[in-house]
Amino acid sequence: MSVPCGLEHSAVPPHSPPRSRYCEPSKVKSPAPLLPPSVVPLDQRTSLNGRLVPPATGGLEVPTTLPSGPTTLRFRNDGKHPHELNIVQLKSGASLKQFIDAANAGKPLSPMIERVVGVLFAKPGERSPSGLSVDLAAGGVYAIQCIFKDSSTAPAHRALGMFTSFAVTNARASSNDRPAATVDTIVANDYAFTYPRTVAPGRHRFVFVNAGKQRHEINVARLKAGVTPRQIAEADQKDADINPLLDQALGVLHALGGQSPAGMLELEMVAGRVYLLECGFSDTEKSPPHYKLGMSGTITVTGR
């Protein structure tokens, strides 16, 4: 277990949430810097056979623009495999082609990233259960990709063409685009989270702040009904697969030390359910994943 796949080109990607997002140690060559993968402005695009396409045209990778300002991104997976929407804002002057070429070549991406936004997941034939709320920067270009692989030896979906970008215009988005929601903040330190242990049911936006020196993430998933936090802790201690204990992967927010992503994870918190937060990053290939150092926790939703 070492470098998070989302940030590592040589990594073996995610098939499903938390744990499986991370690389198999033997496959990791050199821990490359950062990079959050792909994301797409949702609601305006869908993924079809591994390509992100605007639903209105059915075309492939058609240039798209969005107005600036507060926006919530979601996506629908029209394919037969799990996909993600992994989005970052590119630095001015960095093109999508440069970014994707660098990613496919396993080169560091952080020099091309102005700011990471976050990652959403969707199962085949479904919409992402959560959203990414972001204040789109006028004039900004956002790159989106999917780094999932269909098997450990298969190419990343990005290498199959599953990437795109959109440009943000100077027009302002309607302020009604984003419904009201409670905002909760999760702070990461080396190596613990500070966060609300319980929240009320309903729509919440989670802000992630990395106050530590290392890179951290919150990888959020909902536990299956009846599964307890203790079962997760025991599975983690034994390095067992926790995926059978989860019913939905909800997304990832990640940031380098001292930074915070541009995106907020927007979740519909269901009464009585328990949500898992974990950081799967490791400081080196040989060091333990952060969730084993204390960066694992749960949020329980009040009510029934």
* Site residues, Cu ion (CB under 5 A): 216, 279, 281, 290, 295
The C-alpha angle 187, 190, 191, rounded to 5 degrees, equals 85
**153: Cβ–Cβ under 8 A, 6 or more apart, which residues?**
none
CB of 204 to Cu ion, least distance (A): 22
In the complex with Cu ion, the residue whose CB is nearer, 35 or 279, is: 279
How many angstroms separate the CA atoms of 157 and 62, rounded? 18
- Alpha carbon separation from 124 to 23, 84, 144 (Å, rounded): 22, 10, 18
Closer residue to Cu ion, CB minimum distance, 44 or 185: 185
Of 12, 4, 154, 22, which Cα lies nearest the Cα of 81? 154
Nearest of 33, 173, 13, 14 to residue 116 by alpha carbon? 33
Taking the least distance from each CB to Cu ion, the nearer of 74 and 216 is: 216
Least distance (Å) from Cu ion to the CB of residue 136? 27
Minimum distance of Cu ion from residue 257's CB (angstroms): 10
- Nearest distance in Å: CB 108, Cu ion: 19
Q: Which is nearer to Cu ion, 216 or 273 (CB)?
A: 216
Q: Give the nearest distance from C-beta 120 to Cu ion in angstroms.
A: 20
Q: Which is nearer to Cu ion, 125 or 288 (CB)?
A: 288
